[in-house]
Amino acid sequence: MAHIPEEPKRFVCENCQIIHAGTPVHASGGDHSFETPTTCGGCGESTFVEFTDWVHHHA
């Protein structure tokens, strides 16, 4: 069976709206999750909204 890569969670910087890929975190059993970035690479802010929630987000 072929491996199908999982798409990483994406996060939108609340300040400048740049999209960042979450940092993969590996857990036991081969599972993983994605952490929110600590700071935005564009503006340096640290407030993010998950990409799937962005359209419903009100700043």
SS (H, E, C) 1-59: CCCCCCCCCEEEECCCCCEEECEEEECHHHCEEEECCCCCCCCCCCCEEEHHHHHHCCC
pTM: 0.80
pLDDT tens-digit readout, 10-57: 999 999 999 999 998 887 777 778 999 999 999 999 999 999 999 888
| Residue of higher predicted confidence among 59 and 12 | 12
Contact predicate 49/14, CB 8 Å = yes
